[in-house]
């Protein structure tokens, strides 16, 4: 046994990079999927609408922990391949992000008045041009506060990756706690770091909301 020192804090701070890696991966792959799902949900094809809505509902009804377990233990079983923890954990958070951002953006797109799309179509714009220039910019503005809010959720939820042994911030805290027998101090430290990451985003989300409401 050893005491809790500054080096434990530094180890935790170093582990933040893996938390950040998960967030970046989840956004990089999840956001395009989310956009696709949001477009499918609001599109003209009934089949695409049903499919996308089904996916959103299914994933939203499953806890992130369940997704993690499924990809971590399930991928080797179902696909017969052993993948690195980063891949399976990253896949789980990608799906999580796709579903929740997809739902937020669907709401944003539907909040733009139908007449805006009609007006664009009546000027001879294609459906893609209408989405790209008329619908998307307005939907993005509407959905931005909720999107930033989701980012906070995502950062905190990556702590669940610790249950499959992925060493990110929460897991680093567990290790420090086990090595020093100072759980309170270790986890307080972890909590403080999460707070330091999330609080500025929360503030930003709030200010975006105020700006949006003020603009109306």
Partner 1 sequence: MALVEIRNVHKSFGEVEVLRGIDLAVEKGEIVTIIGRSGSGKSTLLRCINGLEQINGGEILVAGERVHSRSTDLRKLREHVGIVFQQFNLFPHMTVARNITLAPVLTGRVAKGDAARELALKVLAQVGLEEKIDAYPGQLSGGQQQRVAIARCLAMSPYLMLFDEVTSALDPELVGEVLKVMEDLATQGMTMILVTHEMNFARNVASKLVFMHAGMVHEEGRPADLFANPATPELANFISSVR
Q: Using CB under 8 A, which of 13, 123, 178, 188 touches partner 1? A: 123
Cα separation values, 141 from 75, 119, 179, Å: 38, 20, 47
**Which two three-digit tokens encode residue 139?**
């939907």
Nearer to partner 1 (CB atom), residue 17 or residue 126: 126
Q: Which stretch binds partner 1 (CB under 8 A): 3-11, 126-134, 150-158, 171-179?
A: 126-134
**Residue span 60-99 as binding mask against partner 1, x where in contact by CB under 8 A, dash where not:** ----------------------------------------
Nearer to partner 1 (CB atom), residue 61 or residue 124: 124
Question: Would you count residue 111 as binding partner 1 (CB under 8 A)?
Answer: no
Question: Would you count residue 120 as binding partner 1 (CB under 8 A)?
Answer: yes
**Which two three-digit tokens encode residue 134?**
């008329």
* Closest distance to partner 1 from the beta carbon of 113 (Å): 8
Size, binding site for partner 1 by CB under 8 A: 17
Question: Would you count residue 133 as binding partner 1 (CB under 8 A)?
Answer: yes
Question: Would you count residue 46 as binding partner 1 (CB under 8 A)?
Answer: no
Question: Would you count residue 119 as binding partner 1 (CB under 8 A)?
Answer: yes
Q: Which stretch binds partner 1 (CB under 8 A): 88-96, 119-127, 160-168, 193-201?
A: 119-127
Q: Which stretch binds partner 1 (CB under 8 A): 10-18, 32-40, 129-137, 150-158?
A: 129-137
Question: Would you count residue 141 as binding partner 1 (CB under 8 A)?
Answer: yes
What whole-number distance in Å separates Cα of residue 48 and Cα of residue 39?
A: 9
Question: Would you count residue 144 as binding partner 1 (CB under 8 A)?
Answer: no
**Angle, vertex CA 99, rays to CA 60 and CA 190, nearest 5:** 80
What whole-number distance in Å separates Cα of residue 155 and Cα of residue 18?
A: 11
What phi and psi, each to the nearest 5 degrees, are found at residue 141?
-60, -45
Residues in contact with partner 1 by the rule CB under 8 A: 115-116, 118-126, 129, 133-134, 137-138, 141
């Amino acid at each position: 046994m050893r005491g809790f020192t500054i080096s434990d804090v530094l180890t935790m701070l170093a582990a933040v990079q893996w938390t950040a890696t998960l967030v970046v991966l989840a956004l990089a792959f999840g956001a395009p999927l989310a956009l696709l799902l949001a477009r499918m949900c609001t599109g003209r094809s009934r089949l695409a609408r049903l499919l996308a809505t089904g996916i959103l509902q299914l994933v939203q009804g499953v806890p992130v922990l369940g997704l993690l377990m499924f990809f971590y233990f399930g991928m080797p079983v179902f696909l017969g391949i052993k993948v690195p923890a980063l891949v399976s954990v990253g896949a789980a958070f990608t799906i999580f992000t796709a579903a929740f951002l997809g739902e937020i953006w669907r709401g944003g797109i539907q909040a733009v008045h139908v007449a805006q799309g009609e007006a664009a179509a009546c000027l001879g714009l294609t459906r893609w041009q209408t989405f790209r220039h008329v619908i998307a910019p307005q939907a993005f503005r509407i959905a931005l506060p909720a999107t930033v809010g989701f980012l906070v959720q995502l950062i905190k939820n990556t702590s669940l990756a610790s249950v499959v042994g992925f060493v990110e911030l929460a897991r680093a805290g567990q290790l420090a706690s086990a090595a020093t027998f100072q759980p309170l101090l270790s986890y307080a430290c972890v909590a403080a770091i999460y707070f330091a990451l999330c609080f500025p985003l929360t503030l930003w989300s709030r200010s975006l909301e105020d700006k949006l409401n003020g603009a109306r």
